[in-house]
Amino acid sequence: MAYKITSQCISCKLCLSVCPTGAIKVVDGIHWIDSELCTNCVGSIHTVPQCKAGCPTAHGCVKQSGDYWEGWFANYNRVLAKLTNKQDYWERWRNTYSQKFSEQLQKHQVVI
If you write DSSP's letter for every residue of 38-65 in order, what string do you get? --TTTTSS-SS-HHHHH-SSSSSEEEPP
Counting Cα atoms < 13 Å in the Cβ hemisphere of 2 gives 15
Tell me the β-bridge partners of 63: 3
* Residues lying near ligand SF4 in the complex (CB under 6 A): 3, 5, 9-15, 19-21, 23-24, 31, 33, 38-41, 49-51, 54-57, 60-61
Name the DSSP letter for residue 69: H
Minimal distance, residue 71 CB to ligand SF4, in Å: 14
Minimal distance, residue 98 CB to ligand SF4, in Å: 37
Minimal distance, residue 103 CB to ligand SF4, in Å: 45
Minimal distance, residue 28 CB to ligand SF4, in Å: 14
Distance CA 1, CA 66 (A): 7
